[in-house]
Amino acid sequence: MTKKSKTVKEDDLKTKLLEQGELSHEAIVKFLILDKEITRCIAFANAASPIDIFKSYKTKIRHQADADEYFTNSVDKYHEGAKDDVIYELYDWFEDYFKDYDKSYDYLSSWEYDQGMYEWEVLYTYVHKFSELPFEYVCRSFKLNKDRFATNPLVDFFSTFDDYFYARWIDDIVFDWDRMGHYYDKISGETDS
């Protein structure tokens, strides 16, 4: 008796892999595990609460280098919980299977399962999570730049990250700068609205 696949997606994927005929039975099993693990780890990131990922530690962000260090450390620490080691082991396995990194990459890339795509999707998910941080949390938890040259400390905080994300080719994050500015002005007593 053969073991049944757990999902329709898995059955469809297995059928496509079999029809393609490029992988051994063992490689198909590994590919299906890779599919499940990537799906699970992306779901882990999607289910996260922004304030669970981005702890403050009373951090002051002044420059893109600060934003890079803070964002990278926060994401790395949180994403450890996804336990995605199996994914990287499978990438190594496929490299050995194809006996060439480029062949492995090209094959996995044709299915959009290569390491670059996985890491990009994880990064992209966490960037969106960052953009969802509540204003109140940021104002209460971070050392905002309140020097006399700061236009609006909350706007400046998010603007530094917006510049950081843009420098990494993520340019579709939408921050509501007017709402953000109004919120900070209201809580700091600079407006009666």
Count of structural domains, the chain: 1
Residue 152 in any domain: the answer is yes
Alpha helices, DSSP H, located in the chain: 8-20, 25-47, 50-53, 64-79, 85-98, 101-110, 115-131, 135-141, 153-167, 177-187
Tokens of 165: 């994300």
Q: Are 14 and 5 in contact (CB under 8 A)?
A: yes
Residue 178 in any domain: the answer is yes
Q: What is the pLDDT of residue 15?
A: 86
The arithmetic mean of pLDDT across residues 161-176, rounded, is: 93
The arithmetic mean of pLDDT across residues 140-150, rounded, is: 80
Residue 102 in any domain: the answer is yes
Q: What is the pLDDT of residue 3?
A: 46
- In the chain the first and final C-alpha atoms are separated, in Å, by 71
pLDDT digits (tens, 9 = 90+) for 48-80: 999 999 998 777 888 999 999 999 999 999 999
Q: What is the pLDDT of residue 2?
A: 42
Q: How confident is the model at residue 155 (pLDDT cuts 50, 70, 90)?
A: very high
Residue 193 in any domain: the answer is no
- With 80 as the cut, is the pLDDT of residue 20 above it? yes
pLDDT digits (tens, 9 = 90+) for 119-144: 999 999 999 999 999 999 999 988 88
Q: Mean pLDDT, the chain, as a whole number?
A: 89
State which residues form the domain around 52: 8-187
Among 17-21, 38-42, 166-170, the range with the most confident prediction by mean pLDDT is 38-42
d(CA 39, CA 35) in angstroms, rounded, equals 6
Residue 1 in any domain: the answer is no
Q: Are 181 and 152 in contact (CB under 8 A)?
A: yes
d(CA 43, CA 91) in angstroms, rounded, equals 20
Q: Which string of b and e fits 158-175 if b means at least 16 CB within 10 Å?
A: bbbbbebbeeeebeeeee
Residue 179 in any domain: the answer is yes
Residue 60 in any domain: the answer is yes
pTM of the entire structure? 0.86
Q: What is the pLDDT of residue 107?
A: 94
Residue 2 in any domain: the answer is no
Q: Are 87 and 41 in contact (CB under 8 A)?
A: yes
Q: Can you say whether residue 6 is alpha, beta or left, with left for phi > 0 and alpha for psi between -120 and 50 degrees?
A: alpha
